[in-house]
Amino acid sequence: MKWPKLTLTARLTVLFTGVAASVLLGFGILVSWATARHFVELDRIYLDDKLRLVEKLVTEATGPADLTATLDELLDSHHGLFAQVWVDGQRVYGQPDLRANAPASSWVPEQITEWAYEGRELRGLAGTLRPLQGTTERQDMLVWVAVDTAHHAHFLDTMRKKLAIYLVAATFVSGVLGWWAARRGLSPLKAMGKRATSVTAHNLQQRMPVASVPVEFAELASNLNGMLDRLQQDFQRLMDFSGDLAHELRTPLSNLLTQTQVALSQRRDPDEYREVLASNAEEFERLARMVSDMLFLAKTENGIDLPHPERIRLHDEVLALFDFYEAVADEKKIRLVLHGQADMDGDRLMIRRAISNLMSNALRHADTGTTVEVSISSTDGTVRLEVINEGPPIDQADIPRLFERFYRADRSRAHPAAEGAGLGLAITKAVITSHGGEIQVHSRARQTRFTILFVRSRFTTGVSKPQ
Amino acid sequence: MKILIIEDEPKTGDYLRQGLREAGFFVDLVANGTDGLHHALEGDHDLVILDVMLPGLDGWQVLRNLRGHQRQMPVLFLTARDQVEDRVKGLELGADDYLVKPFSFAELLARVRTILRRGRSGTESTTLQVADLELDLLRRRVNRAGRRIDLTAKEFGLLELLMRRQGEVLPRSLIASQVWDMNFDSDTNVIEVAVRRLRTKVDDGFPVKLIQTVRGMGYVLEEPDAR
C-alpha cells in the first residue's frame, strides 16, 4: 500500500482508529441482532402461552356468548394482545380487519408472522383446536393471537442509538489513545534523531542511548554506535595525519624561509648565495619526495593504483637490491646474506620498493660488522620473506605504531636529510596490504625480524587487469 | 638545438626557458595549446616540452595533432597527476618521455639530453676517455694515468654512466634508475655512498678530481677547468 507523506505517528493513529472502529461496529451489530432475536424468542413464548390460554377458554366455553365474554375479559387484562377465533372458515371472535395485511403464511400453525395493523407492528401465531365439547361432528377450529411489538421496537431503536453514540465516542477516544501510544512508542526514535543532529566533526563522541530505548531500537542504536565508532576512528586518524603532515611540512618550510631571508638580509659573495641555493634545493627535494611518497601511499591505500601482476622471482629482486645497497652495507662492514627462493605474483616495482624499504631500515639500525639476512621460503601457497638485522631492539611499545605514517621510534633524534620522512614502513605495509599479504615484526635481544607473508598466486585465477 | 616549451604556468615556463638556455639550447616558450601547436608545426624544433593541462588545446590534443601532421620530433610531457592512465596515454599518443611535477631541473635536463642523444646513432667507441681516465667497455677495465683501477660491476656501471654523460649534472634519481634499475627513491643515501666510494677509487691520490658533487643537483664527471 502506498502511503501518502504521512508521519509514522499519523499512520499508526489512522490504523489504530480504523481497527477500533471496525471492531466496535461489529460488536454493535452483533449486540443489536442478538437483542432483536431475543425479543422474537420472548414474543414466541408469550404468544405460545396466550394461545394455549385462548384454546383452553374456547374449549371450556359453554356457548358463543360466554366465549366472547371470557375472551374480552382476557384481552382487556392484557394490553396489546389481540385474538381471533375461526370455526369452519367462519370468524366467531375478534376484530374483522385484524388480519387485513397479514401474509398468507400466517395461517400456518406454530409459525411467527409479522404484519402491520392500525399503525401497530403485530407479531402473530396461529393454532388449530380440538372439537368443541358436546359436538360430535368434525369442526375446523382455528385460533389466532397477536401481540403489539411497538415497545420492543422502541427499546431496540433506543439501544441502537446509544450504541452508535458509544461507537463514535469510543472510536474517537481510541484514536486519541492510539496517537498518544504511537507518539510515546516512537519517542526513543525522536531522541535518537535529536542525538544524531548533535553529532558533528567536532562532537563525534556522542553515542545513541542503548540501555534506555526499547529492545526493538536497541539493535539499531548499537549499530549506529558502531558506525560512529568507526567514523570517529577514521576521522581521528585523518586528523592526526593532517596534523602530522602539517608538522612535517612546517620544518623544511621554515628552514627554507629562514635560510632564504637570512641570505637576503645583506650582500654576499656568489659562493655564499650558491651555498644557500644548494641547501634550499636539498630541502625542496625532501619536500617533493614527501609529497610524492604521500601520493603513492594514498593511491596504494585506496586501491587506485592496483597492482599490475606479473610473476616475480623474489630471489632476483633481493639480489638486485643487494647490489643497490652494497655500498651502504660495505660502509658499515655489514654482510648481506640471502637464503631461499620463491616465486610470487605481484607488481614488481611495488614489491621491490616494499622490500627496499625494509632493507634500508635494517641497514640503518644494524650494528657495524653484523649480518643483514634475507630469507625466502614458501609453504602451501604462502610465501614468507624475512629481513633480519642485529642491533638495538625496537621498543615493544613502538611496535604497534611502527607502520603509521611519519612515525619514528626515535622522536628525539633529528633526522638527517638523507633519511626518509618516516613513510618507508607505511609504504611497505600499504604495498603488502594491497597485495593481500601481511607484515609482522619481532624484536628482541638485539635481533629485529620483519616477516612478510604473501599469498603466492593471488592473481593467477581470474586476473582482471585494470582497464 | 631548438626546444619548444608549451607551458601555461608562467613561473615554470620562465625557469625552464632560462635553465635550458643556460644549458646551451635555443628555447621558445608558448603559454597555450593553440599557439603551441602552431609553433610546433611551423618551427623546426628538435624537442617539444609539453604540459598536459593547458588552456585552449590540452597537451593530448596538441600531441595528437602533431603526430597527425607527421611531425615526429620527440616530445617530453609534464604532468601534475601521477596516474598510470596518464602515462600510458601519453606514451601511446607518441610521447617519448614524461616527468611528474614536481621534478628537479637536473632530472629534466638529463632526460632532455637522453632524448636528444637517442636520435643520433653515432659510431659507438669501445673506450671512453676523460682527461687521464680511460674506460674500456669491451674488457671492462679502468685505467687512470696508466694505473689500473679495480671496480665492482656496479661501480663500473656508475663510472660508465658518468663518463658517457661527462659534463652533465646527473641527479641521484637518474643514477639509481640507470645503474641499478631502481625507479624509486630510497630512504637511505645509497647513491651518495656509492659515488663517494667510486670517488675514493678514481680520484684519491690524483691531483685532479674528476668526480664532483653539485650540491642540490647531483654529480658530474668532468675536468675541473672545463667548467
CA-based nearest distance A359→chain B, Å: 10
Name, of A126-140, A225-239, A345-359, the range with top average pLDDT: A345-359
List the one residue out of A73, A84, A76, A80 whose CA is nearest residue A51: A84
Fold classified for A215-298: Helix Hairpins (1.10.287)
List the one residue out of B212, B217, B215, B186 whose CA is nearest residue B199: B212
Judge if A215-298 and A308-455 fold alike in CATH terms: no
Higher pLDDT pick, A98 / B30: B30
What residues does A311 pair with on adjacent strands? A345
Distance CA A94, CA A85 (A): 7
Distance CA B5, CA B26 (A): 11
Q: Is residue A366 a contact partner of residue A390, using CB atoms and an 8 Å limit? A: yes
Q: pTM (2 decimals)?
A: 0.62
- Whether the predicted pLDDT of A165 surpasses 90: yes
At residue A419, the pLDDT reads: 55
SS3 for A440? strand
Average the pLDDT over A143-168 and give the result: 88
Half-sphere exposure of A350 (CA within 13 A, CB side): 28
Are the beta carbons of B186 and A285 separated by less than 8 Å? Answer: no
- Whether the predicted pLDDT of A133 surpasses 70: no
Cell numbers for A218, please give them: 536497541
Model confidence at A190, in pLDDT bands (50, 70, 90)?
A: confident
Q: Are residues B9 and B110 in the same domain?
A: yes
List the one residue out of A195, A452, A232, A454 whose CA is nearest residue A345: A454
Q: Are residues B140 and B187 in the same domain?
A: yes
Q: Are residues B101 and B131 in the same domain?
A: no
Q: What is the DSSP letter of A422?
A: S
What residues does B32 pair with on adjacent strands? none
Higher pLDDT pick, A127 / B108: B108
Model confidence at A373, in pLDDT bands (50, 70, 90)?
A: very high
CA-based nearest distance B215→chain A, Å: 5
Fold classified for A308-455: Heat Shock Protein 90 (3.30.565)
Q: Are residues B114 and B146 in the same domain?
A: no
Distance CA A443, CA A402 (A): 12
What beta strand segments (E) does B12-51 contain? 26-30, 47-51
**At a CB cut-off of 8 Å and minimum separation 6, what does A134 contact?**
none
Model confidence at B82, in pLDDT bands (50, 70, 90)?
A: low
Percent of chain B beyond pLDDT 90? 21
Q: Are residues B69 and B160 in the same domain?
A: no
Q: Are residues B140 and B218 in the same domain?
A: yes
B78, B187, B193, B197, best to mutate vs chain A, most A CBs in 10 Å: B187
Distance CA A376, CA A342 (A): 6
Confirm or reject contact between B220 and chain A (CB < 8 A).
no
Instruction: Report the 10 Å Cβ neighbour count for B104.
Output: 21
Are the beta carbons of A282 and B188 separated by less than 8 Å? Answer: no
Domain that holds residue B183: 127-226
* Least-confidence region, from A135-139, A185-189, A236-240: A135-139
Q: Which of B186, B194, B215 sits opposite A278 (nearest CB)?
A: B215
- Whether the predicted pLDDT of A52 surpasses 70: yes
Number of domains in chain B: 2
At residue B123, the pLDDT reads: 56
Tens-digit pLDDT profile for residues A240-289:
777 777 878 887 888 888 888 888 888 999 998 988 888 888 888 888 88
At residue A130, the pLDDT reads: 60
Model confidence at A451, in pLDDT bands (50, 70, 90)?
A: very high
Q: Is residue B149 a contact partner of residue B136, using CB atoms and an 8 Å limit? A: no
**At a CB cut-off of 8 Å and minimum separation 6, what does A336 contact?**
A322, A325, A326, A329, A371, A372, A374
For B9, the enclosing helix (H) or strand (E) is: none
Q: What is the DSSP letter of B57?
A: S
Q: Which CATH number fits domain A8-158: 3.30.450, 1.10.10, 3.90.1490, 3.30.70?
A: 3.30.450
Model confidence at A467, in pLDDT bands (50, 70, 90)?
A: very low
Average the pLDDT over A183-201 and give the result: 81
Distance CA A425, CA A432 (A): 10
List the one residue out of A117, A41, A36 whose CA is nearest residue A82: A117
Q: Are residues B7 and B115 in the same domain?
A: yes
What residues does A324 pair with on adjacent strands? none
At residue A305, the pLDDT reads: 58
Domain boundaries, chain A: 8-158, 215-298, 308-455
Q: Are residues B55 and B85 in the same domain?
A: yes
> Given B96, B119, B142, which residue is the final one in a domain?
B119
For A323, the enclosing helix (H) or strand (E) is: helix A314-331
Confirm or reject contact between B80 and chain A (CB < 8 A).
no
SS3 for A133? coil
Q: Is A220 exposed, middle or buried (0-12, 13-18, 19+ CB in 10 A)?
A: middle
What residues does A81 pair with on adjacent strands? A147
Chain A, nearest residue to B179 by Cα = A324
Chain B, nearest residue to A425 by Cα = B187
Percent of chain A beyond pLDDT 70? 90
Distance CA B112, CA B119 (A): 12
Q: Which of A327, A356, A466 sits opposite B197 (nearest CB)?
A: A327
> Given B119, B147, B168, which residue is the final one in a domain?
B119
Higher pLDDT pick, A466 / A113: A113
Cell numbers for B173, please give them: 634519481
Give chain A's largest Cα–Cα span: 167
Which CATH number characterizes residue B30's domain? 3.40.50.2300
Q: Are residues B102 and B25 in the same domain?
A: yes
Q: Are residues B182 and B134 in the same domain?
A: yes
List the one residue out of B172, B65, B179, B50 whose CA is nearest residue B115: B50
Tens-digit pLDDT profile for residues B90-114:
778 888 888 888 888 888 988 888 8
Half-sphere exposure of A21 (CA within 13 A, CB side): 11
Q: Are residues B103 and B157 in the same domain?
A: no
> Given B83, B99, B119, which residue is the final one in a domain?
B119
At residue A412, the pLDDT reads: 46
Give A352's contacts in chain B (Cβ within 8 Å): 182, 184
Q: Are residues B59 and B133 in the same domain?
A: no
Higher pLDDT pick, A433 / A62: A433
At residue A452, the pLDDT reads: 93
Instruction: Report the 10 Å Cβ neighbour count for B198.
Output: 23
At residue A462, the pLDDT reads: 39
